């Protein structure tokens, strides 16, 4: 499994995820410039990562402009063909703006930028401690879409407390139903607000990120 990390103007977690993939996951990885288009050398078993940051300065709405970059056109067709795409933080916002994932990410309910460790619960019932760092991370979709996603097992990460209980206190941004990460119906496109690349090396004091990549079957 090979990885490509898209670099937009304003991406700032591109090197972090690149290093994580290369050093901690031990996988082949390359940067993909937003003005380029060519990802023909990636097959559907490979994965394109949209990193965190502030693509295009978050102008208009987070992720709204990045969606129209030449590289995104290739990433969108790659995803439609079944190729794996992972969006982290700003990458998640871009995936929602692109229509590859349902819903949208709104300004945190308490208006503050949050940068701290949170606990997440996967559909595997395991608990992961991963940092979040965002101002616009409040996942929102209408009730019908949320019901539909839950029925299909598309909600893959919920904010929870240390014991795995999904309480309102453990919801850092006011996200609908404590949602931290989702996937599309076929399961090849994943978006999440937390940053596993910031917790994937023992030197960081936390390597739960690696467990998360295992959960995503990207290890």
Partner 1 sequence: MIYHVQIKVMPLKDLLDPQGKAVMSGLENLQIQGVKEVRVGKHITLNIEAASSDAAKALADDACKKLLANPVMEYYEIELVN
What's the closest the beta carbon of residue 11 comes to partner 1, in angstroms? 20
Q: Which of 66, 65, 62, 86 is nearest to 191 (CA)?
A: 86
From 40, 111, 116, 151, residue interacting with partner 1 (rule: CB under 8 A): 111
- Window 114-153: contact mask with partner 1 (x via CB under 8 A): --------------------------xx------------
- Specify the DSSP element, H or E, that contains 212: helix 208-215
Q: Which of 34, 58, 78 is nearest to 184 (CA)?
A: 78
Question: Distance (Å, rounded) from C-alpha 195 to C-alpha 181?
Answer: 11
Q: Which of 128, 142, 136, 137 is nearest to 196 (CA)?
A: 128
From 106, 127, 133, 204, residue interacting with partner 1 (rule: CB under 8 A): 106
Q: Is residue 195 annotated as a catalytic residue, yes or no?
A: yes
From 97, 155, 198, 210, residue interacting with partner 1 (rule: CB under 8 A): 97
Number of residues that bind partner 1 (CB under 8 A): 17
Does residue 191 bind partner 1 (CB under 8 A)?
no
Does residue 55 bind partner 1 (CB under 8 A)?
no
Q: Which is nearer to partner 1, 33 or 68 (CB)?
A: 68
Q: 3-state DSSP call for residue 158?
A: strand
Q: Is residue 197 annotated as a catalytic residue, yes or no?
A: yes
Strands (E), the chain: 3-7, 29-33, 47-50, 84-88, 104-106, 114-122, 127-134, 138-140, 155-160, 179-183, 189-192
Question: Distance (Å, rounded) from C-alpha 83 to C-alpha 77?
Answer: 9
Q: Is residue 13 annotated as a catalytic residue, yes or no?
A: no
Which of 30-38, 81-89, 96-104, 195-203 is the region at the interface with partner 1 (rule: CB under 8 A)? 96-104
* Nearby residues of 207 by Cβ (< 8 Å), 6 or more positions away: 24, 199, 200, 201
From 96, 132, 157, 192, residue interacting with partner 1 (rule: CB under 8 A): 96
- Window 168-187: contact mask with partner 1 (x via CB under 8 A): ------x-------------
Question: Distance (Å, rounded) from C-alpha 186 to C-alpha 80?
Answer: 10
Does residue 164 bind partner 1 (CB under 8 A)?
no
**Catalytic residue numbers?**
89, 195, 197
Enumerate binding residues for partner 1 (CB under 8 A): 60-61, 64, 68, 96-97, 103-104, 106-111, 140-141, 174
């Amino acid at each position: 499994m090979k990885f490509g990390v898209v670099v937009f103007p304003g991406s700032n977690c591109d090197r972090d995820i690149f290093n994580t993939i290369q050093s901690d996951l031990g996988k082949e990885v390359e940067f993909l410039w937003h003005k380029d288009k060519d990802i023909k050398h990636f097959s559907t078993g490979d994965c394109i990562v949209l990193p965190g940051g502030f693509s295009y300065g978050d102008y208009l709405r987070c992720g709204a402009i990045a969606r129209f970059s030449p590289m995104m056109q290739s990433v969108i067709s790659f995803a439609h063909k079944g190729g794996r795409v992972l969006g982290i933080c700003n990458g998640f916002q871009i995936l929602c703006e692109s229509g590859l994932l349902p819903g949208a990410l709104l300004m945190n309910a308490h208006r503050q930028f949050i940068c701290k460790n949170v606990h997440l619960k996967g559909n595997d019932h395991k608990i992961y401690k991963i940092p979040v760092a965002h101002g616009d991370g409040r996942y929102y979709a209408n009730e019908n879409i949320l019901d539909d996603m839950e029925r299909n097992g598309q909600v893959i990460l919920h904010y929870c407390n240390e014991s795995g209980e999904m309480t309102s206190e453990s919801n850092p941004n006011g996200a609908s139903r404590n949602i931290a990460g989702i996937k599309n119906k076929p399961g090849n496109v994943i978006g999440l607000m937390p940053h596993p690349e910031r917790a994937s090396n023992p030197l960081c004091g936390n390597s739960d990120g690696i467990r998360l990549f295992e959960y995503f079957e990207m290890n």
